[in-house]
Each structure stands twice: as C-alpha cells, then as structure tokens.
Amino acid sequence: MTGLGPGVSAQTAREELREWRQDDPPVHGGRVLAYVYDAGVEQAIEAGLEALASFGEVNALDPLAFPSVARLENSLVGWGLDLMRAPDGAVGTVTSGGTESCILAVLATRGRGSTILMGETAHPAFHKAAHLLGMRTRVLPVDPQSLRLTGEAVATALDEEDDVALVVASAPSYAHGVVDEIPAIAAASQARGVPCHVDACIGGIVLAYARPDGAPAFDLSVPGVSSIAFDLHKYGFAPKGTSLLLFADPQLRAATYFTFSQWPGYPVVNTTLQSTKSAGPMAAAWAVARVLGDDGYRDAVSRALLATEAIAEAVEGIDGLRVLGRPDATLLALASDGERGIDPFRLADAMKARGWSLQPQPSFGSLPRTVHLTVQPVSWESVGALTADLRAAAGEARSQPWAQVGEDLEAAFAGLPDLTGGGGLPDEMAGVHALIDALPPGVRDPALAAILGALFSPRR
C-alpha cells in the first residue's frame, strides 16, 4: 500500500477495521484473563462507549475552553478521594493510565532525592519513570514465602540510603496478586520523612469495595501514605485509558504540573504528561461509574472474588500445580508444585487450545516461572467451565516435558516465529516463552525490543 489511496465510504472503513479485529481475542466474556476487564453489565458498557464517542473530540487540554472537562475530573477525583478515605485537603488528577500515574507520582517527589525504593515485584512503570526522569531505582527482595515487600526491609534500606525520593508499595503486585505490608512500609517512610506511594492501579477498586470482607489496609487513611493511584480502565470497567492519581498533600500535585508562558503563544498549563488529549476516556469512565454506582461495583467485585476463590480451590486439587502466595484480590499466579510439577508455559498452551488466554510470566531470581490470571466478574459465570478445562489442561501438560532451551541461545532466537507478515502467533508458545525465560536480562530486553520493532515495520 502506497499512501492512503482514494477515499472510501465510512461503511467500507468500518468493514476493514472489523476484518482486522478478527484475529484479536474477545474483550468481553472472560475468556481472556489478562489485559481486559469485564463486569458483564451491558448498560455500563454501552454508556461508556457512547460517552467515549460523544466526548472524543473535546480537547481536555483547556478546561477554561471546555468547562465539562473540569466537571468530569472533579467528579471522578471526588469519588476517588472518598473511596480511598483521603484526608481533608487531598487532591487528585485524572491521567491516561497506570504508567502515567506512576511517572507523575515519581515526578512529584523528584526534588527530594534521586532514588526510588521499591520491591522486586513493583511494576516496571517505576523503572520507566526512573529512566525518563534521570533517577535510579533500588530494588528490594520480597519475602520468599509471602511474596510481599516488608516494612522491615524498607526500614533497613532507608537507614542505608539518604537520597530516597519515594518509597513504592503495591496493592497488590501484578505478578502474584499480594498486597505489600503497607502500614509498616508507610510508617517506616514517614519516620524518615520520605513520601510513600501506593500503586493500587490494578487492585484499588477491588480492595476498596471488598474492605468489609477484611481487605488489608492500603489507602490514604494509612499514616505515611502520601499518594495512591488506581485505574478506572481496569476494575473500574471503563474503556481505555483512565487512571486516578491522588495526593494527600496538594503541594505534591503542584509539583507534577507543567506551566510555561515565556513564548508568544497561549500560556501552557499541563496537569499530566500529555498536552492535547481527548476527554472521551474521562467521560467514558464517568459514565460507567455512574451507571454501576457503589452497589454495582460491590456486586462486580464480589463476583470476581468468588471466582478467584473457586479457581484457587480447584488448583489446590490439581497434582503438580499450586497458587503462588496468598492472593489478596483477584489476581492469581499458578506455579509448578515440586520438581516434577507442571510447566506453567505448557499449561498456558493447553488452555489456549481450549479457548482460554492465560499470561505466561518468566522466572525472576528465586521466583519461579508462572502463568497469570486476571479474574473478572464475568469469570464467576464461567468458573465451572474454566476449572474443568484447567484440570484437563493440567493433565495434558503433566505428561509433557518442561519447555527448555539448550545452550545455543542464538540458534533458538533465530528460530522465533516471524510476525512481520501479519500472521498470528503459533498455536504453541511454550518454547518461545522458555527462550525469553532463559535469556539473561541484559540480552532479554534488547531482544524483546527487536521483536516488537520488527513487528512494527510497515514497509518491510
């Protein structure tokens, strides 16, 4: 294809896009247990998509020109502050997603030091923030049994470091679904005058609405927690992409704003990393939240938690498989149980053949390779089919050898599938994931970048 060619009808363009979507997994129904979040409430889905289109052309850069932008943001932030039990005077910002929230949380404290202190299970977005902002990270091991970052580990590290700008805790960690020891971490940070950010991007809404059921303390009511983020396009069930970043101290939010008037154009005031941006995602998140309401979120969270418990219970009865850690929310990591257990990569392939998409996760240090499940409210409706297929897939994977890579990594890398021609992934990916697992981090990251770079090659 050279250029755009002649224009086509809107119907033709829609048909072409529909054809391109045919190879994508379904975003509703609960068959994809990563990346997508489905409450199973049709009215909320419709309201969100309608709002996305209605506000798609509204420029959220300037709330003075478009007053609806400030109304939407104030309404969403106000709900978030109530949900996270924020103190009087707390403020917030609507961002494009968890990564932007993480970067801004780091930016807010950059002037206090150059080091971000966090656990090895913290999200890579904080490493990205350090990379972009000229900072460094100090990564602490998590407890080998609970997989949580402990207050003791943070206190010891803070005694050793005098240049820490921010301490990060997860609620929960993505990889294993466990909540770090946030009260102890925040207390250690507060005692040393260091801000503490809680990354609740994936679990904040779940933990908040499950609080009566004994969810761990994690929010802005915890002494020492200075900021928190949670995403509305995850368990807020809104279209991508919207997140809330909340600050106990307005001065921290002020440190994330960028203003510039020393040029002949309009005065620039950016509340996020973006300048021009669509108000569509914000309006969509607001519409979904309004339709669901507190009762709708409680029901959705309850169904997701019930499904998570049912899956974990089923795994306990599968020989050679275990749930890693004791999950606090709706995320599960399945690992081999013992030396002769099931290879999670083989399990993922066997589940894919049965129509389920699970997310393989490579090993890291002492942490084993796993397969990840992001359990959704709609998973409760299909949990019987899911657990039945999980047992059958485990039986199939148990009879197979572990996916391993020999000493010739170069040859294995050369044998990776070519995705640049527009074709889909191979049916069996265990060998590919085993190669990624085997590569040293210093080689793995450039290799992954090269694979993605080759995928985005329009003129190849």
Q: Is 40 helix (H, G, I), strand (E, B) or coil?
A: coil
Tokens of 329: 């929310």
- Taking each helix axis from N to C end, the angle separating 430-438 and 344-353, rounded to the nearest 10 degrees, works out to 150
**Closest among 301, 357, 356, 359 to 330, alpha carbons compared:** 301
Phi, psi of 242 (to 5 degrees): -145, 135
Tokens of 429: 């990916």
Tokens of 420: 């640049």
Q: For residues 399 and 416, what is the distance between their CA atoms, to the nearest angstrom?
A: 25
405 close to 443: Cβ distance less than 8 angstroms: no
Q: Residue 141, Cα to own-chain centre: how many angstroms?
A: 20
The pairs formed by 72-78 with CB atoms below 8 angstroms and a separation of 24 or more are: 72/279, 72/282, 72/283, 72/286, 73/282, 75/286, 76/232, 76/242, 76/244, 76/282, 76/285, 76/286, 76/289, 77/244, 77/246
| pLDDT computed for residue 215 by the predictor | 63
- Whole-angstrom CA distances from 25 to 16, 39, 389 are 17, 17, 18
> Which H or E run includes 169?
strand 164-170
| pLDDT computed for residue 418 by the predictor | 60
Tokens of 310: 């049912």
All domains in the chain, ordered by first residue = 50-289 (3.40.640.10), 409-455 (no CATH)
| pLDDT computed for residue 212 by the predictor | 61
Q: For residues 334 and 78, what is the distance between their CA atoms, to the nearest angstrom?
A: 37
Q: For residues 395 and 321, what is the distance between their CA atoms, to the nearest angstrom?
A: 10
Tokens of 93: 């910002």
The torsion of the CA quartet 244, 105, 36, 54, rounded to 10 degrees, works out to 40
- Whole-angstrom CA distances from 285 to 21, 39, 96, 115, 260 are 23, 13, 11, 33, 30
Q: Residue 285, Cα to own-chain centre: how many angstroms?
A: 17
Q: For residues 405 and 271, what is the distance between their CA atoms, to the nearest angstrom?
A: 47
Q: For residues 199 and 171, what is the distance between their CA atoms, to the nearest angstrom?
A: 6
The torsion of the CA quartet 207, 212, 216, 217, rounded to 10 degrees, works out to 90
Residues 6+ apart with CB under 8 A from 151: 181, 183, 184, 185, 187, 188
Q: For residues 119 and 395, what is the distance between their CA atoms, to the nearest angstrom?
A: 35
| pLDDT computed for residue 1 by the predictor | 45
| pLDDT computed for residue 211 by the predictor | 80
What predicted TM-score, i.e. pTM, was given to this entire model? 0.93
Q: Is 377 helix (H, G, I), strand (E, B) or coil?
A: helix
Q: Is 349 helix (H, G, I), strand (E, B) or coil?
A: helix
Q: Spell out the per-residue pLDDT of the chain, length 460, in tens.
A: 457 889 999 999 999 999 999 988 999 999 999 999 999 999 999 999 999 999 999 999 999 999 999 999 999 999 999 999 999 999 999 999 999 999 999 999 999 999 999 999 999 999 999 999 999 999 999 999 999 999 999 999 999 999 999 999 999 999 999 999 999 999 999 999 999 999 999 999 999 999 865 667 899 999 999 999 999 999 999 999 999 999 999 999 999 999 999 999 999 999 999 999 999 999 999 999 999 999 999 999 999 999 999 999 999 999 999 999 999 999 999 999 977 799 999 999 999 999 999 999 999 988 999 999 999 999 999 999 999 999 999 999 999 999 887 655 555 555 565 655 555 566 788 888 888 888 887 888 888 888 788 778 776 6
Q: Is 406 exposed, middle or buried (0-12, 13-18, 19+ CB in 10 A)?
A: exposed
**Closest among 353, 369, 374 to 429, alpha carbons compared:** 353
